[in-house]
Amino acid sequence: MWDQIAAIFSIGLFQNTIRNATPVILAALGGLFTEHAGIMNIGMEGMILTGAFVAVAFSFMFVSAPMGVLAAVLVGILIGLFFALFVVKLKSDEFIIGMTLNTFAAGLTVFILRNVYGQVGTWVSESIKGLPVVEIPLIKEIPFIGPILSGHSIFVYLSWLLVFAVWIFLYRTPYGFWMRAAGEHPEALETAGVSPVKMKFLASILCGIFCGFAGAHLSLGYLNCFTEGMSANRGFIAFACVIFGMANPPKVFGAAILFGFLQALGLRLQSVGVPSDLTAAVPYLATVLMLVYITVTGISRKKKRAKKEAMQEDLSDAVPVDQP
């Protein structure tokens, strides 16, 4: 029994936790911008998938991983502009546009993969250059901790830095303040001379860039290939992490790490005989539980607020008025 527990909670479990969590962290950080700007962006799934495909295609074309990442970012910007055009400018339903984007990305990537590159299912080639592995001096020599923290794609470490960078941007810069105001008080922002529409466009573009990073990490920093449906609902998981973390970067980071851990744990449980269909459902079950928790706590918070306001009204009515 102890041997099985040791096999499950090994170094590989924590290595896979970091690798699995990274694309979700990057996409969720992008989703923070649109969430604060008052946009429900469930189109991140399509953004990630498109970024993963374009990264592989340009890495294959130029035999260069940086070119693949650059292409993924540029496509993310274009998709972000497309999303903002319909949702912000044309006032289309954000849910419908997001789902349309996801469906279009899934169909387009499969069509190009099969009809242009002649690949079915998975595209693997020696010409697809992946991102280099980063070895951290000194840390890599530490027993147990070293192999966990060192030897990952550059996007793993970039995602950690971006958590702090996004927090600083949102809460310590004028643009972050304006972006949050665009979602909470757009009329007041417009009165101050700043266009809420421009802030929403900026939020959508930044979301596209971060989802491009997430897709590039999936295909070039994680597997060095492209597989049909490669995003595997990570966009929806990222959206759930944004909601669960209340659009706060450190909390969203923690939620993404939790997802990565549960996904890695599910794979490890397969080695001790647990059916793969059951273990594959663990991360998504956790996502559902996240959303249920958010809903229940939100309702409870509203009830407490209403009760507090009612008590304040009763107290104000009970205060005697001085007679002249």
Q: Yes or no: say if 51 and 76 are a contact pair by the CB < 8 Å rule.
A: yes
CB-count exposure of residue 15 (10 Å: 0-12, 13-18, 19+): middle
Integer CA distances (angstroms), 248 to 43, 166, 184, 234, 294, in order: 20, 9, 15, 19, 14
Domains and CATH numbers, the chain: 2-316 (1.10.3470)
**pLDDT computed for residue 164 by the predictor:** 96
The strand pairing partners of 302, in sequence order, are none
Q: Yes or no: say if 40 and 221 are a contact pair by the CB < 8 Å rule.
A: no
**pLDDT computed for residue 108 by the predictor:** 94
**pLDDT computed for residue 322 by the predictor:** 54
**pLDDT computed for residue 146 by the predictor:** 87
**pLDDT computed for residue 319 by the predictor:** 52
**pLDDT computed for residue 315 by the predictor:** 61
**pLDDT computed for residue 5 by the predictor:** 66
What is the chain's pLDDT, residue by residue, as a tens digit (324 residues)? 566 666 667 788 888 899 889 999 999 999 999 999 999 999 999 999 999 999 999 999 999 999 999 999 999 999 999 999 999 999 999 999 999 999 999 999 999 999 988 888 888 888 899 888 888 888 888 888 888 888 888 999 999 999 999 999 999 999 999 999 999 889 989 988 899 999 999 999 999 999 999 999 999 987 788 999 898 889 998 998 898 888 899 999 999 998 888 888 877 777 666 676 676 777 677 777 776 777 777 677 777 777 776 766 666 665 554 544
* CA–CA separation, 175 and 202 (whole Å): 10
Phi, psi of 71 (to 5 degrees): -65, -40
CB-count exposure of residue 224 (10 Å: 0-12, 13-18, 19+): middle
pTM: 0.87
Which two structure tokens, joined as six digits, stand for 183?
A: 């979602």
SS3 assignment for 177-203: HHHHHHHHCHHHHHHCCCCHHHHHHHH
